[in-house]
């Protein structure tokens, strides 16, 4: 069982499930017409159940189980779940196989990035071109590598991504710009950008005259969380034709933790995603 979450966890899953139902409704017709197979890929799958971690110990049903429960108007043809923690992967395997014995489910215990690359390679093969995929990338931190997303460009895949703008990027961007090499390296891999580009985007530099002469002062720009969302979206638009608006996930003190959005090469898909997101942003 995973321990994390709040109302936004539930809303995020509701958004995904609502979108998956709309996706399956639209794809139902085309899959028959063009002989397509529908693949669901979950890169950070969890156990299938989430413990909210508060005093009530309320358990919510994780995205994996919610997606597997969808049968109307149709189910996916294949489900591929990736989970890095061995014990959680085993729980997911047991939960899903016992509850959905007739579905074509694969659970792998490895790193999501490795399997996104495998999925991209597959979707480019002759057999893979007959597949349409819906991917859910739901990390708790900055585990998604930019290169993994690059591999998906131009493919027939709709990708929902939880972007750790507040919980990840903003936390690594220290006020004075003195960021450790390890953190810079993580930012570079996450954003697919070089150190200098990242620092230029998030920091301003100016010469300040002090008692001991001129000093170069580095200052973090205001609204770094919003800036990281804009940047991520701009970068995604270089890979996918369309990127949705974001569902904004805030904690109890109203601080932004994550942005949840979808990228696709299909205009209509993003229109549908935006309608769902707009509804949940008002809640």
Ligand X SMILES: C[S@@+](CC[C@H](N)C(=O)[O-])C[C@H]1O[C@@H](n2cnc3c(N)ncnc32)[C@H](O)[C@@H]1O
- Cα–Cα nearest to 133, from 70, 80, 204: 80
SS3 68: helix
Q: Give the shortest CB-130-to-ligand X separation in angstroms.
A: 27
- Considering only the stretches 82-90, 122-130, 168-176, 241-249, report the one whose residues sit in contact with ligand X under the rule CB under 6 A: 82-90
User: Tokens 């017409």 label which residue?
Assistant: 33
- Residues 105 and 277: their CA atoms lie apart, in Å, by 28
Check binding of 88 to ligand X (CB under 6 A): yes
- Cα–Cα nearest to 106, from 50, 49, 157, 68: 68
Check binding of 84 to ligand X (CB under 6 A): yes
Q: Closer to ligand X at the Cβ: 24 or 144?
A: 144
* Contact pattern from residue 33 through residue 72 relative to ligand X, giving x for each residue in contact according to CB under 6 A and a dash for the rest: -----------xxx---x-----------xxx--------
Q: How many residues bind ligand X (CB under 6 A)?
A: 20
Please give the helix or strand (H or E) that residue 109 lies within, else none: none
* Contact pattern from residue 191 through residue 210 relative to ligand X, giving x for each residue in contact according to CB under 6 A and a dash for the rest: --------------------
Q: What is the DSSP string of 1-41?
A: -EE---HHHHHHHHHHHHHHHHHHHHHHHHHHHHT-EEEEE
Q: Closer to ligand X at the Cβ: 31 or 248?
A: 248
Q: Give the shortest CB-262-to-ligand X separation in angstroms.
A: 15
Among 27, 31, 38, 82, binds ligand X (CB under 6 A): 82
First to last CA, the chain: 27
Q: Closer to ligand X at the Cβ: 64 or 155?
A: 64
- Residues 73 and 120: their CA atoms lie apart, in Å, by 27
Check binding of 140 to ligand X (CB under 6 A): yes
Q: Give the shortest CB-2-to-ligand X separation in angstroms.
A: 5
Q: Pick out residues in 96-135 that bind ligand X (CB under 6 A).
A: 111-112
The strand pairing partners of 217, in sequence order, are: 206
Check binding of 20 to ligand X (CB under 6 A): no
SS3 245: coil
- Cα–Cα nearest to 232, from 156, 142, 157, 113: 142
Q: Closer to ligand X at the Cβ: 41 or 232?
A: 41
Which residues would be at the binding site for ligand X (CB under 6 A)?
2, 13, 44-46, 50, 62-64, 82-85, 88, 111-112, 138-140, 143
């Amino acid at each position: 069982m995973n321990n994390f979450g709040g109302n936004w966890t539930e809303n995020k899953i509701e958004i995904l499930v609502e979108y998956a139902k709309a996706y399956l409704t639209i794809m139902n017709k085309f899959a028959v017409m063009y002989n397509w197979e529908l693949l669901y890929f979950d890169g950070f799958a969890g156990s299938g159940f989430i413990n909210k971690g508060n005093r009530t110990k309320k358990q919510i049903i994780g995205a994996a189980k919610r997606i597997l429960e969808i049968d109307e108007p149709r189910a996916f043809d294949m489900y591929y779940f990736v989970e890095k923690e061995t014990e959680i992967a085993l729980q997911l395997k047991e939960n899903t196989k016992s509850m959905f014995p007739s579905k074509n489910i694969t659970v792998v215990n490895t790193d999501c990035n490795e399997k996104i690359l495998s999925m991209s390679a597959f979707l480019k093969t002759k057999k893979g071109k007959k597949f349409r995929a819906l991917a859910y990338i739901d990390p708790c931190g900055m585990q998604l590598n930019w290169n993994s997303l690059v591999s998906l460009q131009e493919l027939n895949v709709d990708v929902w991504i939880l972007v750790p703008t507040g919980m990840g990027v903003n936390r690594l961007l220290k006020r004075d710009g003195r960021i450790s090499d390890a953190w810079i390296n993580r930012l570079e891999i996450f954003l697919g950008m070089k150190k200098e580009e990242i620092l230029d985007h998030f920091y301003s530099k100016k010469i300040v005259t002090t008692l001991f002469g001129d000093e170069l002062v580095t200052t973090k720009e205001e609204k770094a969380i919003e800036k990281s969302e804009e940047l991520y979206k701009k970068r995604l638009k270089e890979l996918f034709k369309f990127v949705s608006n974001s569902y904004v996930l805030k904690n109890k003190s109203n601080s932004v933790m994550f942005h949840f959005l979808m990228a696709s090469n299909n205009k209509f898909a993003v229109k549908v995603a935006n309608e769902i997101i707009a509804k949940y942003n008002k809640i």
